[in-house]
């Protein structure tokens, strides 16, 4: 009976109640949708930064991390390759030959990282073939084909078939220049990465380096990202002559981005709940002051203070839950709608996003656990906010309240 009375009470002033419900719904919708955009942005950065650029775990000769020299290569590559092939935790891996060099066309000369790759293992590890937007991913092509980033191609005014010259040092520290043809153009969400890295066939690169089968970096992805730490520690003990690092050790800023997601959620949630609390407090205090005479009469006819207290509590909770359900429903619909379509930020700063490695098309996403946490915190906020108006009602003196006009 008390629940039924409380529900009816909040609709005795429908304009005020509807306004409050709409305010709660709009606040929650805006907050959840903003959080979904932030999480979508961070998820995409994580995907492009870790899975396409860094991979989950990398192995290097320790000296290679100090000086990018082709002679600082991974020892026992064949043994490591055999071990990784039989490790059930490994989803895919690739061995790369890496040298620093120069790329030159008739329009521009600039420094780049030259990565010699096995197309099959590189595609399965980083999905580089899926990022090839023009030309072919090392299919049938001319001699010494290379794959360059779209940003670099635009700056160098290079197109498919453009002749470029690569210059680098071989294993004897002698300068080598080779003529190559652009066979494909790739594009990731990170334009800076696209400008600094070019790819060529590993056997083409090692042939000009003067040694076959040399590998400077082993990059791999696991079936479960959470296993990266244990995996790196295990292989570090197994191959002590190598430096084995996880993605978080390679790029601490990426780990910070990943951790920042929950922090952003909590900040957004705190702002929503503070606004909700002040709105509810104002509404329920107004309701108590307007019903002073009514509450006094209820006390006079025998309703005890406990029931008065619970009635105010239930009214606040009903009002909050109604608005929260409406706001959450709107947020779910909005997130699902834009998860498929995406939000194109290119017209309002897409280039700036790409400079920092973020895709200009954002696909909002929200974890189901966020809604569970939101529901608990909203109810808790409603209960805490209702305490003061309820106590205010209990302080009323029945005889004085009944005489109130």
Lookup result for tokens 């003061």: 388
pLDDT at 268: 74
Q: Which residues pair with 352 in a beta bridge?
A: none
Give the residue extent of every domain in the chain.
2-50+255-402, 62-241
**How many whole angstroms from its chain centre is CA 327?**
23
pLDDT at 62: 93
| Average pLDDT of the segment spanning 124-145 | 85
pLDDT at 205: 92
Q: What share of the chain is helix, strand, coil (3-state, %, to 5)?
A: 60, 20, 20
Look at residue 190 and tell me whether its pLDDT is greater than 70: yes
| Average pLDDT of the segment spanning 244-262 | 79
239-253, 345-359, 376-390, range with the lowest pLDDT: 345-359
Maximum Cα–Cα distance for the chain, whole Å?
Answer: 102
Q: DSSP H helical segments within 132-251, as ranges?
A: 150-156, 191-196, 202-209, 228-238, 247-250
Lookup result for tokens 């909005």: 334
Look at residue 402 and tell me whether its pLDDT is greater than 70: no
What does the alpha-carbon distance between residue 284 and residue 305 come to, in Å, rounded to a whole number?
A: 17
- C-alpha angle 169-244-122 in degrees, rounded to nearest 5: 60
pLDDT at 371: 76
Residues 62-99: pLDDT tens digits?
999 988 888 899 988 999 999 999 999 999 999 999 99
pLDDT at 122: 92
| Average pLDDT of the segment spanning 53-61 | 90
pLDDT at 138: 86
What does the alpha-carbon distance between residue 134 and residue 10 come to, in Å, rounded to a whole number?
A: 62
Whether 18 contacts 210, CB under 8 Å: no
The secondary structure of 344-386 as a DSSP string is E-GGGTHHHHHHTT--SEE-----HHHHHHHHHHHHHHHHHHH
pLDDT at 353: 60
pLDDT at 140: 66
Helix 2-10 with 305-341: angle, nearest 10 deg:
60
What does the alpha-carbon distance between residue 151 and residue 193 come to, in Å, rounded to a whole number?
A: 9
pLDDT at 95: 94
Tell me the average pLDDT of the chain. 83
* Whether the predicted model's global pTM rises above the 0.95 cut: no
pLDDT at 376: 80
b/e per residue 86-98 (b: at least 16 CB within 10 A)? eeebbebbbbbbb
Residues 200-238: pLDDT tens digits?
999 999 988 888 888 999 999 999 988 999 999 999 999
The burial class, CB within 10 Å (0-12 / 13-18 / 19+), for 228 is: buried
């Amino acid at each position: 009976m008390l629940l039924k009375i409380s529900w009816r009470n909040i609709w005795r002033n429908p304009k005020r109640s509807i306004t409050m419900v709409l305010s709660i719904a709009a606040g929650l919708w805006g907050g959840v949708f903003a959080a979904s955009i932030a999480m979508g942005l961070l998820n995409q950065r994580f995907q492009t930064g870790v899975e396409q650029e860094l991979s989950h775990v990398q192995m290097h000769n320790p000296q290679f991390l100090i000086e990018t020299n082709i002679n600082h290569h991974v020892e026992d590559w064949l043994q490591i390759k055999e071990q990784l092939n039989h490790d059930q935790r490994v989803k895919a891996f690739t061995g790369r030959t890496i040298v620093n060099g120069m790329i030159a066309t008739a329009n521009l000369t600039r420094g780049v990282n030259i990565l010699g790759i096995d197309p099959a293992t590189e595609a399965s590890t980083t999905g580089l073939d899926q990022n090839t937007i023009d030309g072919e991913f090392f299919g049938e092509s001319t001699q010494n084909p290379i794959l360059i980033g779209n940003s670099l191609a635009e700056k160098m005014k290079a197109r498919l078939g453009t002749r470029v010259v690569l210059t680098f040092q071989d294993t004897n520290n002698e300068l080598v220049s080779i003529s190559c043809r652009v066979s494909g153009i790739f594009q990731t969400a990170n334009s800076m990465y696209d400008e600094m890295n070019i790819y060529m066939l590993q056997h083409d690169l090692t042939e000009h380096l003067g040694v076959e089968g040399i590998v400077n970096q082993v990059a791999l992805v696991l079936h479960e990202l959470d296993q990266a730490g244990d995996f790196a520690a295990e292989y570090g003990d197994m191959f002590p002559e190598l430096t084995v690092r996880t993605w978080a050790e390679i790029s601490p800023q990426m780990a910070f981005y990943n951790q920042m997601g929950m922090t952003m959620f909590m900040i957004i949630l705190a702002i929503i709940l503070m606004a909700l609390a002040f709105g509810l407090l104002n509404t329920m205090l107004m309701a108590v002051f307007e019903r002073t005479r009514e509450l006094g009469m209820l006390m006079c006819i025998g309703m005890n203070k406990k029931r008065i207290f619970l009635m105010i509590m239930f009214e606040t909770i009903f009002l909050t839950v109604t608005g929260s359900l409406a706001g959450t429903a709107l947020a779910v619909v909005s997130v699902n709608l834009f998860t498929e379509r995406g939000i194109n930020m290119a017209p309002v700063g897409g280039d700036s996003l790409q400079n920092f490695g973020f895709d200009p098309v954002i696909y909002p996403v929200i974890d189901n656990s966020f809604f569970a946490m939101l529901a608990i915190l909203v109810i808790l906020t409603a209960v805490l906010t209702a305490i003061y108006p309820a106590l205010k009602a209990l302080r009323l003196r029945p005889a004085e309240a009944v005489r109130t006009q």
